[in-house]
Structure 1
Amino acid sequence: MKKIKSRLFKLVVVIFGLALLSFTQANKQTIKGWFLAGSNPESYEIGITKNKERNSNVAYLKSIEPNIKGFGTIMQNFEPKKFLGKKVKLTSYIKSKSIKDWAGMWLRIDGTNRGKSLGFDNMQNRPIKGTTNWTKYEIILKVPKEAVNIAYGVLTSGTGEVLIDDFKFEIVSDNVKNTGHQGAIKLKEPTNVNFEESF
């Protein structure tokens, strides 16, 4: 009985070790500062390649399975300190190849309330589809003073490949229109209750 328990314990340890190794390999960082995530990250691959058109290194996110339900994203997070209370514009250059569903750059502003963003735009209302040349895309969102994290990247839903280069953040005027939606705005008092006022 003791031998059976001992062998069983060893088997559990081996299985756990293999599972942990698999998880680590699937989530290891292949590009400094960036990681692969999404609803189906195991169906995608990220990396760096030299691009003659841009005359520089560019990142890629590509599907590695023929049929995918869900999405993968190349992304990173950072502290929003210098952007607090300001409106920011995120830009990058993206080239797509055989995007079957859609792809898009995205930006999310996080607060302390986990699972509820203070601002978000993933370009789903202006998606990248099919095969496209290098194009500059932009997202504009306000970063509230209570923000604790900024997450951003490029996603692909379904199959296809995107090449990505030159992300840039810059502060813009509050008068510049947002491209995405902001979280709920807390007003000082009831406002525009009869819906007669416009922006």
Structure 2
Amino acid sequence: MDVPLSTIISSGIGGAAVALITYLTTRPRVRAEARKLEAEAERTKAETTKLLAEITVPPDSEFGTDLPKGWHVTGSHPEDYTYGLDSQIHHSGIASAFIRARPSPRGFGAWVQTVHAENYVGKRVRLSAMMRAKDVAQYAAIWLRVDAQGNHLIFENTQPDSRRLSGTSGWVRREIVLDIPTEGEEILLGAVLSGSGSVWIDSFTFEVVSTDVPLTEAVEPLRTRPINLDFTQGLA
């Protein structure tokens, strides 16, 4: 039976209209859900960064006496993780350091080492390490912090998405490059594991580099006077 051309056209228009209506009605919902996920990710990142920036070093006696020389254990919930040396899994030398989550871990656990900043103030430094992960649910990272008179002057870690280490992976290199403020007094550096899984860390290096080496996290310099007070310069 022949179907009138007008019916075919009407049917096609009807289908297109339904598709268009569906697209227009679902697009705001999809965007809202995407914004919600982005907001939750930023909130988690901000909370973790704040916690890691405020950590203190608890007594090593809480975590045994076989910690590697010069290193201490810290974190938001260090008791939910185990720490030690692994002579079977390492990238170089004879052993790596590991952080391993206990069942249902809260917060994060971390390795930390503290040094005087006097040899590094006013200079650009690079912290790097080799890392290996197994079943890391959230992330593993290295981190670097500069303090002065009990205040945190600068802090960076490799948690951001572009440098995040999660899941299971072989050895990968992670690095942080930043400028040590002239008023810096102490430098804290280490590695962190957040959530379930295990991470191994090896071949840490901490060195002064030239200013030709780019910073790993661009920081806009503080202006000497306010700008765009009348909002005429458009968007950033």
Relative to the length of structure 1, the TM-score reads: 0.75
The answer to whether 1:177 aligns with 2:232 is no
Contact 1:37 1:75 in 2 (8 A): yes
1:90 aligned residue: 127
Corresponding letter in the other structure for 1:168 = T
Which one of 161, 168, 190 corresponds to residue 153 of structure 1?
190
Aligned equivalents of 2:150, 2:210: Cα separation in 1? 27
Determine the structure 1 residue equivalent to 2:37: none
Corresponding position of 2:95: 57
Number of residue equivalences: 168
Q: Rg: which structure is higher? A: 2
- How far apart, in 2, do the equivalents of 1:108 and 1:71 lie? 17
Shift of 1:141: 0.8
Distance 1:138 1:80 in 2: 19
Change (3 A) 1:52 1:128: closer
TM-superposition CA deviations, 1:90-134 (whole Å, max 9, x none): 1111111110111111111112252xx222111121211011101
- 1:120 lines up with 2:155 in the alignment: yes
Contact 1:85 1:142 in 2 (8 A): yes
Question: Which residue number corresponds to residue 66 of structure 1?
Answer: 103
Contact 1:109 1:120 (C-alpha < 8 Å) held by counterparts: yes
Task: Indicate if the aligned counterparts of 1:77 and 1:152 stay in contact, CA closer than 8 A.
Answer: yes
Distance 1:131 1:163 in 2: 11
Higher RCO structure, 1 or 2 (CA under 8 Å, sep 6+) = 1
- Write 1 or 2 for the structure with the bigger share of strand: 1
Contact 2:86 2:96 in 1 (8 A): yes
Query: After the TM superposition, which of the residue ranges 166-175 and 44-53 deviates more from structure 2?
Result: 44-53
CA RMSD across the alignment = 2.3
Residue equivalent to 2:62: 26
Aligned mates of 2:60, 2:206 — CA distance in 1: 31
Which of the pair is proportionally richer in helix?
2
TM-score, normalization: structure 2? 0.64
**Is 1:190 aligned with 2:225?**
yes
SS in 1 for 2:95: strand
Alignment check: 8 A CA contact 1:60 1:163 kept: yes
Shift of 1:27: 4.7
Deviation of 1:70 after TM superposition, in Å, equals 0.3
**Per-residue deviation, 1:185:** 5.7
C-alpha deviation, 1:24, in angstroms:
6.2
Q: Which runs of 5+ in 2 are unaligned?
A: 1-58
